[in-house]
């Protein structure tokens, strides 16, 4: 079942309320992240029960628990690995699968991916008896961060310079759908000095006519390629004539680091995780903007939600120093904010997972964090005209505090017509896009003037 259909039903008004957000943060910190932590440890154990028990002491205290968990998880992982290999060979290889076969291969990949993700539930009973931690903290200290990113800090205006020339991106064969076609994009990348692969899902209106495009990136631990989504906003926008490019962010999805769950290194490595994520992803957004401009022949917007919005707003700042082809024509920022420092110190999710205590134990002081903000916070002025920036905020947002979103919108002189403020929280504000495309349509209007 695609639960997102419920988000567009009239019943959604009953649960898309601030109370949902008040429950969501503790549910993520006390349930989803701990189960994800156990799941990631299970995958990293590769069938070795002793290794899993060492990673999860709560399992070690229960004879046979690690063996039972691995017995359930291993078949899921194997099934996904096989489905992913067949999918990649069919979509990117020379094999001549027909359109119907391609669609069936994609459905099997989606089903196997979602089954793998649901393997978290195999650890639920053990977690309820002896809770797992939400994050495996492996903080890098200030000296390690300085070695990795000190050179960039010396010239923040050029800190996100894209590679010149950018590595080539390869587009897959198309999987047809009602009024749209779906393809995937991949290419060489690097995250934190480690070779990586850029991945993005591309949904466009059927046909080859030029059209505008939106490069839109996700929030932390949101891995759309691994959860079924049959009729979300991206598909609806593509059906309305807007191509949508949805990258998988560093540390997420196919780019997940072994031993971590999707997005965990952004927290677990402390400032180094954030700096590595932003350095890689912001540059990639520039590459994707340039690719989309050449591919679709129309104006290109960049945007994101939550952590993705923080990356997108850095791209908007950095674009002032990018080649013209990589500069976005517009931006769509959902639950972003001016100060990452404020998000880190006051945001409800970092507090709920114990980030402040972990930072202190890792030798980080507020002053030490402030020194790195030029590489993590948007500049005073955007790199595009303010009237081409659309912002969606939740007045009751405590994850990326609402005041910081307003601060950025005012500092960048975003027109009132482009600022959508809902009486909702962090999660419900972004979920509202499943039932109300008005902010997206405002973006379309803005792009029409580019």
Percent of residues, the chain, with pLDDT higher than 90? 78
pLDDT for 1 equals 40
- Average pLDDT (254-283) is 97
> Within 10 Å of residue 302's Cβ, how many Cβ atoms?
32
Query: Taking each helix axis from N to C terminus, what angle separates 271-296 and 307-318, rounded to the nearest 10 degrees?
Result: 70
Q: What is the pLDDT of residue 234?
A: 80
pLDDT at 216 over 80: yes
Residue range 118-145, pLDDT digits in tens: 999 999 989 998 899 999 999 999 999 9
Average pLDDT over residues 180-197: 95
Q: What is the pTM of this model?
A: 0.94
Residue 12 pLDDT greater than 90, yes or no: no
3-state secondary structure of 301: strand
Parse the chain into domains and list their residue ranges. 26-129, 142-447
CA distance 397 to 345: 15
- Architecture of domain 142-447 in CATH? 3-Layer(aba) Sandwich (3.40)
Count CB-CB contacts under 10 A for residue 110.
18
Mean of pLDDT values over 221-230: 88
- The DSSP 8-state label assigned to residue 375 in this structure reads G
CA-based diameter of the chain, in Å?
65
pLDDT of residue 16: 62
Could you tell me the sign of the dihedral formed by the alpha carbons of 90, 94, 95, 99, in that order?
Answer: positive
pLDDT score at 450? 61
SS3 state at 181: strand
At residue 15 the predicted structure's pLDDT band, cuts being 50, 70 and 90, is low
347 to each of 249, 332, 398, how far by Cα in Å?
21, 22, 6
E strands present in 259-418 = 297-305, 330-334, 389-394
What pLDDT, on a 0 to 100 scale, did the predictor assign at position 11?
45
Question: 400 falls in which pLDDT band (50, 70, 90)?
Answer: very high
- With a cut of 70, say whether residue 9 has pLDDT above it: no
What lies within 8 Å, CB to CB, of 156 at 6+ separation is 374, 375
Confidence (pLDDT) at 164: 83
pLDDT tens figures, 100-121? 789 999 999 999 999 999 999 9
Please write the tens of the pLDDT for every residue from 31-74.
999 999 999 999 999 999 889 988 988 787 777 788 888 999 99
**Mean pLDDT score of the chain:** 91
Which one is predicted more confidently, 178 or 193?
A: 193
Q: Which residue has the higher pLDDT, 248 or 10?
A: 248
List the structure tokens of 127.
Answer: 């977690």
Q: Which of 23-27, 90-94, 203-207 has the highest mean pLDDT?
A: 23-27
CA distances from 138 to 30, 196, 264, 273, 356 (A): 19, 20, 10, 10, 14
Closest-CA residue to 99 (of 229, 206, 209, 221):
206
């Amino acid at each position: 079942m695609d639960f997102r259909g419920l988000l567009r039903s009239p019943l959604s008004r009953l649960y898309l309320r601030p109370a949902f957000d008040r429950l969501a943060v503790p549910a993520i910190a006390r349930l989803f992240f701990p189960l994800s932590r156990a799941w990631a440890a299970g995958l990293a154990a590769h069938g070795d029960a002793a290794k899993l028990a060492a990673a999860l002491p709560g399992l070690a205290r229960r004879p046979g628990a690690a063996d039972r968990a691995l017995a359930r998880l291993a078949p899921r992982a194997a099934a996904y690995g096989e489905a992913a290999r067949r999918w990649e060979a069919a979509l990117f290889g020379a094999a001549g699968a027909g359109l119907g076969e391609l669609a069936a291969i994609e459905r099997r990949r989606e089903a196997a991916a979602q089954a793998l993700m649901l393997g978290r539930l195999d650890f639920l009973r053990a977690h309820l008896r002896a809770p797992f931690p939400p994050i495996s903290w492996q903080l890098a200290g200030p000296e390690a961060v300085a070695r990795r990113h000190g050179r960039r800090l010396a010239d923040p205006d050029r800190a996100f310079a894209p590679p010149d020339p950018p590595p080539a991106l390869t587009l897959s064969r198309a999987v047809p759908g009602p009024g749209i076609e779906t393809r995937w994009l991949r290419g060489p990348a690097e995250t934190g000095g480690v070779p990586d692969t850029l991945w993005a899902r591309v949904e466009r209106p059927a046909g080859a006519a030029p059209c505008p495009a939106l490069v839109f990136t996700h929030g932390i631990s949101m891995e759309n390629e691994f959860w079924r989504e049959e009729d979300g906003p991206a598909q609806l926008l593509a059906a309305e004539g807007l191509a949508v490019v949805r990258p998988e962010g560093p540390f997420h999805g196919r780019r997940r680091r072994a031993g971590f769950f999707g997005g965990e290194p952004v927290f677990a490595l402390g400032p180094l995780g954030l700096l590595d994520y932003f350095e890689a992803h912001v540059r990639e957004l520039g590459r994707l903007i340039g690719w989309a401009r050449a591919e679709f022949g129309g104006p290109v917007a960049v945007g994101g939600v939550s952590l993705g919005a923080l990356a997108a707003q850095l791209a908007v700042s950095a674009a002032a120093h990018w080649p013209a082809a990589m500069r976005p024509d517009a931006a769509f920022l959902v639950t972003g904010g001016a100060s990452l420092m404020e998000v880190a110190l006051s945001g409800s999710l970092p507090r709920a997972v114990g980030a402040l205590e972990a930072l202190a134990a890792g030798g980080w002081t507020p002053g030490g964090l402030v020194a790195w903000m030029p590489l993590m916070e948007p500049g005073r002025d955007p790199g595009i005209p303010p009237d081409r920036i659309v912002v969606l905020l939740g007045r009751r947002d405590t994850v990326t505090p609402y005041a910081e979103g307003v601060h950025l919108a005012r500092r960048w002189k975003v027109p009132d017509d482009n600022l959508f403020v809902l009486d909702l929280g962090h999660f419900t504000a972004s979920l509202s896009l499943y039932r109300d495309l008005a902010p997206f349509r405002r973006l379309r209007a803005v792009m029409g003037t580019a």
